[in-house]
Structure 1
């Protein structure tokens, strides 16, 4: 690296699902503009990049729900079909093919890690980068507009324990499972820290955490519907409180369900039934070891952090057989090859794998730029109070928050307009964050956020706020809602989506002025699941709309 780099029109940071989609949209709409994609890894793919794959890894999503709208994952090409989870190697190949098909791949600079983002007086950006493979090799790039698509799985959250410096077994985050695959393969004893999980495995779940995740079969209900299909079925989304829910055009129905006694009763029954079906299917109450894995709260309070069975081997059978031993305890320390637990047990192991999640705030440093709201503490507190009052007025059931085993998460959540643009940059139209959300509807979100960002940069959205005050009030309402909606999920720190996903897509589609009801009939609109294929050809629709 080094030398004078030419000014780019747009730089995209990250070549995962969201970065590739955002670059694709911008390139299609601006074929003559200079676009550069920066990627720290050696390949595209983000979570599915080559160096993060390991044997047996596959998607939670089933085929048909995890593909870009304009690039079907054709069964004859990729060897995956209906009802199947997608192997990681196939996903890596698919994302690479997509990048090449739409002219993104040739614009990617690999092994390029962004360290600092600096706002310039002209309204542009200086991007400070280093070479991921060669320390000390740095460069500064310049661009007019910036898309940050680093995602939520870039910086591992690795715990530190007493005695770790003298601990002899391998100790690593799940992100490095690929690099450590041979080590794990030969181990006879392993400890997994976290609620996700021919060796004996000790699964350690903190009693002061959020507890076991909801782990669902891929096909649910007596009608054997795909789990992710339920989350994307419009009529079922009505049962989830959502401040942008009226974007789907069914405001009166939502109002009845969430602001009337009878409606609240129906909503409560919906969530109780959903939770009870999973509990019964897994027999949590019928076996003492399985009972340790029973989620502590109703599925109502959990957002996108829901697991889906995607392996032939039954996880719960392994627990009943004693091959997976569940411990509800903290790790009090490490000693030699032993893990000491807070309940007094001592576990010998050959490896510790930390499935302890990710740091939701990226490690990027910002200069001359504030991502937060521009308000004094007093003004901010008043805005929070007003937003909370509106949330509880619209959705009274959210007042009955679950009793948590830990303190409510503190700190400032990501407060972005439409969960994309920092509030202070809405009218500058020079920066956007793609994929700073948690959802199971990744492929659809990535594509529509990408198109929305291009339209936003160009100042051509059909609907746009007029004042800073309008922006701030909406941002505060949406982000405070997340705190109360998903206290057992990510809602207090970042946008979390489950049954709120399709209404959010409606929100962005309405901003673009595009048709958001895309099914063939009124009945299909309500009961058929929305999939990426329903949004095929959006860029062409957008171009036609602009030409009118």
Structure 2
């Protein structure tokens, strides 16, 4: 029989660490175990994923835990600089050590299955995740479980005709670190993908002197929005725009009223004049980025112009965090863009569907990730719950769709996406209460998913979600769902909204956040009974951006409210 723990957390990235800290602080005598498949902390920033030139999109100050500032004296990163990956790995490891998480972490251990026990709690089947590694248990039992495996743990690696006899290097961008030597040895590289990681890989090869072919499939969502770190004529930080409360009003959001400005929101999204102002806002934001990069000034650059207005794209935007201009490499012909699929691989050649043949030394697939957490639950329904038939769930989803369109009329004018009859079928989105708890686990309060969201506000989300989960497990939320029916209705409302809001982002499959990030943190803080307006004055509240520092001391603040309530 496996060892019993009070809490097991799967994953030692941002969200696993963010969940462990408040739980340990509130329950100092509990047995807590963090399980990590890699050999170090960090998740995306673990030691074995640090490929050449990798940096954070975020600038220093917006990518750190509130109670553990990234001091320039310690980490060597100045205000306004992007954070090198190696620094982030060190920082997250230091955080884990400082808050007694590292000593509770079991590395090189992969969870292959999670089973709900009839007597209550969960049994995890584990195995070594690397050659020569050993795990202390075949099974681990826990009363409560947090899955914090994130969205970038299981790579989506395509299979191509002719792949078996393809002679160049071929790997997913996740393994770029393992194959970093190809940057120095390759004269011709091909990179598949249209997201930020594909740009990163292309930049690494091209800046080292290789000729790069960037391949973007014509039936996808097109090139990512690559924004300058500073935008608009006022040269504001891009990430600061997304977290300035007054600007969040221009994004439709069903949980937006929790920010306390429902009157303004209803004017902007419920009236013709308001919607006109919203359209101007999004047009200006998109036009500024297009003009900055000169997409209309060069035929190859034009291929990298995003296919849809930024309004429809969520957190999948990238920030131009390179030491030299990526777009100059395109202008100079060092990066050539192809809007085509790969027909097959032939020896050392990539053959495109338009007939062009590309001899290469390496092929990198920056083709995204499998969504869903990567851990099977064979005897537990992670969906809306077994209490509703498929027909009932479809009816409830249609009712939620109608409610979203009625509340936010601008979402009726959906963009036309490039798809084909051979496009993969749409899957059901993750349907979790507050984007964390499966419907079937709300009543039992022993399972939560942390970080199954895509956002540019990772540190703030990890902090708020971590504390919320601790309070939820303890039954100490100030606001809790009244019934299973309320849970189901809210889950359908929020997840169906995501589909309408971010059709060019991840909304149809996972929760996606951009200008709706701070309202989501507001929602969680109100559930906790904590103040969500955390600025010095009402005016500052509206115009100064929110960052992790605004949420400093949340756990102690919440513990104080519990003492006042006599809990």
Deviation at 1:395, TM superposition (A): 0.1
Q: Structure 1 residue 488 and structure 2 residue 501: aligned?
A: no
Deviation at 1:361, TM superposition (A): 2.3
Of 93, 98, 104, the match for 1:107? 104
> Residue deviations 1:467-522, cap 9 Å, x none?
00000000000000000100000000000000010000000000000000000011
Of 335, 339, 342, the match for 1:331? 342
The equivalent residue for 1:519 is: 535
Distance 1:272 1:170 in 2: 42
Deviation at 1:56, TM superposition (A): 1.5
| Deviates further, 34-43 or 356-365 | 356-365
Distance 1:78 1:134 in 2: 32
Of 395, 399, 403, the match for 2:416? 403
Distance 1:133 1:220 in 2: 44
Of 427, 433, 437, the match for 2:453? 437
The equivalent residue for 2:318 is: 307
The equivalent residue for 1:162 is: 161
Of 538, 543, 547, the match for 2:554? 538
> Residue deviations 1:124-155, cap 9 Å, x none?
00010001125897600000000000000000
Deviation at 1:183, TM superposition (A): 2.1
Per the normalisation by structure 2, the TM-score is 0.95
**Contact 1:148–1:434 at 8 Å: present in 2 too?**
yes
The equivalent residue for 1:14 is: 11
Give the SS at the match of 1:367: coil
Q: Structure 1 residue 415 and structure 2 residue 431: aligned?
A: yes
> Residue deviations 1:272-299, cap 9 Å, x none?
1111111111111111111000000000
Q: Structure 1 residue 46 and structure 2 residue 43: aligned?
A: yes
**Contact 2:147–2:373 at 8 Å: present in 1 too?**
no
**Contact 1:235–1:526 at 8 Å: present in 2 too?**
yes
The verdict on how the C-alpha distance between 1:134 and 1:177 changes in structure 2, with shifts beyond 3 A counting, is closer
> Residue deviations 1:291-334, cap 9 Å, x none?
00000000000000001000111111000000000001111000
Distance 1:227 1:134 in 2: 42
Matches within 5 A, 1:20-169: 20-134=17-131, 139-169=138-168
Distance 1:184 1:128 in 2: 38
Give the SS at the match of 2:170: strand
For structure 2, list consecutive stretches of 5 or more residues without a partner in the other structure: 200-208
Give the SS at the match of 2:428: coil
The equivalent residue for 1:393 is: 406
> Which stretches of structure 1, 4 residues or more, deviate above 2 A after TM superposition?
133-138
**Contact 2:55–2:321 at 8 Å: present in 1 too?**
yes
The equivalent residue for 1:227 is: 238
Distance 2:443 2:437 in 1: 10
**Contact 2:151–2:371 at 8 Å: present in 1 too?**
yes
Distance 1:121 1:367 in 2: 13
Q: Structure 1 residue 357 and structure 2 residue 385: aligned?
A: no
> Residue deviations 1:380-412, cap 9 Å, x none?
111011101110010000000001111686110
**Contact 1:304–1:498 at 8 Å: present in 2 too?**
yes
Q: Structure 1 residue 274 and structure 2 residue 274: aligned?
A: no
Per the normalisation by structure 1, the TM-score is 0.98
**Contact 1:7–1:143 at 8 Å: present in 2 too?**
yes
Deviation at 1:365, TM superposition (A): 1.7
Give the SS at the match of 2:277: helix
| Deviates further, 388-397 or 133-142 | 133-142
> Residue deviations 1:338-396, cap 9 Å, x none?
00011111101000001111011233221321101121111011101110111001000
Of 282, 297, 302, the match for 1:291? 302
Give the SS at the match of 1:380: helix
**Contact 1:284–1:291 at 8 Å: present in 2 too?**
yes
For structure 1, list consecutive stretches of 5 or more residues without a partner in the other structure: none
**Contact 1:482–1:496 at 8 Å: present in 2 too?**
yes
The equivalent residue for 1:340 is: 351
Q: Structure 1 residue 384 and structure 2 residue 397: aligned?
A: yes
**Contact 2:19–2:463 at 8 Å: present in 1 too?**
yes
Distance 1:125 1:140 in 2: 10
Deviation at 1:54, TM superposition (A): 2.2
> Residue deviations 1:442-468, cap 9 Å, x none?
000001100000000000000001100
> Residue deviations 1:156-181, cap 9 Å, x none?
01011110001000000000000000
Q: Structure 1 residue 462 and structure 2 residue 459: aligned?
A: no
Of 452, 455, 460, the match for 2:468? 452
The equivalent residue for 1:215 is: 226
Distance 1:244 1:545 in 2: 24
Aligned residues: 545
The equivalent residue for 2:175 is: 176
Give the SS at the match of 2:127: strand
Distance 1:373 1:299 in 2: 31
